[in-house]
Amino acid sequence: MEKVNITEKLALFNDFWNPRITGELNGQHVKLVKFKGPFVWHKHDDEDEMFLVVKGEFRMEFRDKTILLRENEFLIVPKGIEHRPVAEKEVSVLLFEPITTLNTGDAKSELTKMNPEKI
């Protein structure tokens, strides 16, 4: 049992769209990731995802609406809902999602991370 300092963990990397695992509980991963620019449109057929903004802001685009998320706000995207995060400037995000969740869901691309690094 060890505490996790989010600021220290975020200082360990500078790349975008490459989530790092910072914890695990009850079949869920806690991940940290930095976004910048648009991600790919995708969905997760079997997993819900939670996005908590640690620093900055980003838009979560859906086919029928867009939700702006700012620091200390979170959004749960239910399984089966197509979405795309877009960040105009760098943003730091904490993800909470089942271990089986692939970052690009049903849309395999150069951004797909099959085995996220643990930090």
pTM of the entire predicted model: 0.91
Instruction: List, for residues 61-84, the tens digit of each pLDDT value.
Output: 999 999 999 999 999 999 999 999
**pLDDT < 70 positions in the chain:** none
- Indicate the length of the chain as a whole number: 119
User: What are the structural domains, with CATH classification, of the chain?
Assistant: 6-98 (2.60.120.10)
Q: How many CA atoms within 13 Å lie on the side-chain side of 42?
A: 21
